[in-house]
Amino acid sequence: MKQANVANADRYRWERQERCDSRGATCACATSTCVRGGLSGYRYALYGFRLRADGTPVHAFPDITTTECVYPEKVVPASDVQAVAAQHIRRYIPRPTITVAPPGGRTLVNIPTIYSTTAHDPVTLPITSPVPGRITATPTYTWSFANGQTANGPGTAYTPDFSPSQHPDHYLHTVYDTAGAKTTRLTVSWQVTFRLQDILDVPLQPITFATASTTRALTAHNVLIDGYDRTG
């Protein structure tokens, strides 16, 4: 918003407004019609309200309607914003961990082994450099099991209220049909969007975290006694 004098000495209050509506119908025009010296600007709607001597508008509607191009002071490489986004996300978002049931690093062949991790809501973080805006990151979860199966989502930690045999769809699980060490890998990929000064959404490269957990699958004739595996 600004105030300026025009040639006839009338005073005006100027209001700059976003041209993109909720459907994005005018965004293409706003972002493609301002080019100067190799820089791409953004076109805003500009409204002038003529003022009385006491500073109140003469009319409720604008007396002058026009547009104005606003240009960035400098061109900021997307890689610079990407680096800042990665720094913020790695600083404020905890690394993923894997929870397994049965616990203790051991399970049985041919029974469901349940996996889960902490579920996170989308995160919004403001930044001021290299350009002002805000980062929004949304997580996706991908699991890879030793038996070749894959799964998506954070999973649900085991509770006695829901038996995996009676409620198999309640849990993210897999079933091993052979004994041995089974390594499970979890990849959490944060899909990142940068909102530039409440004007444009700029997609950035995902920020990815990976972790792994190894569980030993035992056959039914193996019995765990005093912390040791002994064949019965």
pLDDT band at 152 (very low <50, low <70, confident <90, very high): very high
Average pLDDT, the chain: 80
The share of the chain scoring above pLDDT 70, in percent, equals 78
Whether residue 206 is found in the same domain as residue 182: yes
Rounded to whole angstroms, how far apart are CA atoms 206 and 219?
Answer: 40
Q: How far is CA 149 from CA 15, 131, 143, 146, 176, in A?
A: 58, 43, 8, 7, 10
Whether residue 95 is found in the same domain as residue 21: no
Write down the pLDDT at residue 7: 38
Average pLDDT over every residue of 162-170: 83
Write down the pLDDT at residue 38: 63
Whether residue 107 is found in the same domain as residue 172: yes
Indicate the number of domains in the chain.
2
Whether residue 116 is found in the same domain as residue 182: yes
Whether residue 56 is found in the same domain as residue 145: no
Rounded to whole angstroms, how far apart are CA atoms 24 and 63?
Answer: 26
Whether residue 54 is found in the same domain as residue 134: no
Which residue among 11, 35, 70 closes a domain? 70
Phi/psi for 78 (5° steps) reads -60, -30
Write down the pLDDT at residue 42: 76
Q: Buried (b) or exposed (e) across 206-225, using 16+ Cβ within 10 A?
A: bbebeeebebebbeeebeee
Write down the pLDDT at residue 12: 76
Whether residue 26 is found in the same domain as residue 129: no
Which residue among 18, 46, 70 closes a domain? 70
Which of these ranges, 37-41, 117-121, 154-158, has the smallest mean pLDDT? Answer: 37-41
The residue ranking higher by pLDDT, 111 or 70, is 111
Q: Which domain does 175 fall in, by range? A: 78-231
Whether residue 42 is found in the same domain as residue 10: yes
pLDDT above 60 (res 3): no
Which residue among 38, 53, 70 closes a domain? 70
pLDDT above 50 (res 80): yes
The share of the chain scoring above pLDDT 90, in percent, equals 36
Tens-place pLDDT, residues 50-74? 888 888 899 988 888 887 777 666 5
Write down the pLDDT at residue 144: 97
Whether residue 61 is found in the same domain as residue 162: no
The residue ranking higher by pLDDT, 71 or 110, is 110
SS3 (DSSP) at 41: coil
Write down the pLDDT at residue 212: 97
Write down the pLDDT at residue 221: 64
Whether residue 35 is found in the same domain as residue 148: no
pLDDT above 50 (res 159): yes
Write down the pLDDT at residue 224: 47
Whether residue 59 is found in the same domain as residue 91: no
Tens-place pLDDT, residues 186-232? 999 999 888 876 666 778 888 999 999 999 999 876 544 434 344 43
Whether residue 22 is found in the same domain as residue 88: no
Is the model's pTM score more than 0.75? no
Tens-place pLDDT, residues 90-107? 888 888 999 999 999 999
Residues 6+ apart with CB under 8 A from 120: 93, 139, 154
CATH number where 197 lies = 2.60.40.10
